[in-house]
Structure 1
Amino acid sequence: MDTDRLIAARPRPTITPARCAERLRIQLERHGVEADVHEGYGLALVSVWIELVVWTDGRWFRWSSGRTSISGRPVYSFTPALDVVTAARRIADRYNELRRNHPCSPHFLGEES
């Protein structure tokens, strides 16, 4: 019996969407970005900011780039879930762009308006 072939044929463990999203949340913290993780129906969501929610199925991260196609549909950014460091950097860049355009309400900062 060829043991090498048996080992190669064994399926690799898959990461759950929730675990994948949690890894992203931790990486985002390293960029100073707070986020929440929500899971269900085979997907996990990382809620980052207004107009910035990241979806993952455990294989890919996907979020709105803020652009629209010629047909008027949203354009999404993708990063493989295995590259969580790159995904976090790209999402943190989008977060900073959105913060400039949608600053936090004084109400949420505890200030009276």
Structure 2
Amino acid sequence: MQQLHAELESLGIISDVHHGHGAALLSVWVDLLVWSDGFHFRWWNGEHSARTGRRKYAAHPAENPATAARRIATRYADLRTTHPEPPLRALSAEAAPL
């Protein structure tokens, strides 16, 4: 997950890594949480099943974090149009560390 985090960072995308209970999570944006079991990265692709109404998920092999990062960056760009940066996040990015 650290490699994916670094790949996203190289694309200018800030994310937070969390580990525990056999899974790793990468929080990227509103409605964009990537999780991994060590073999695959998975995230919601923004679609719902017409039949069940459940969310559809994208998956990518964890052995190729660079390509996964580009796919996630595409989803991130889509979400930024519908969920702009929250004011508090913008303010906290400008604030000097204590």
| Residue 63 of structure 1: aligned partner | 43
| Residue 18 of structure 2: aligned partner | 38
* Structure 1: gaps (5+ residues): 1-20
| Residue 50 of structure 1: aligned partner | 30
CA distance in 1, matches of 2:88, 2:23: 32
TM-score by structure 2 length?
Answer: 0.88
Deviations 1:5-51 (A, max 9, x none): xxxxxxxxxxxxxxxx1110000011110101001110000000000
Deviations 1:61-113 (A, max 9, x none): 00000100021000000000001111000001101110111001223322xxx
Moved over 6 A (4+): none
CA distance in 2, matches of 1:109, 1:30: 20
Which of the two has greater strand per residue?
Answer: 2
Q: What is the aligned residue count?
A: 91
Say which one has the larger Rg. 1
Give matches, 1:1-113, under 5 Å: 21-70=1-50, 71-110=52-91
TM-score by structure 1 length?
Answer: 0.77
Q: Secondary structure at the match of 2:89?
A: coil
* Structure 2: gaps (5+ residues): 92-98
CA distance in 2, matches of 1:56, 1:106: 30
| Residue 3 of structure 1: aligned partner | none
Between the aligned residues of both structures, percent identity stands at 48
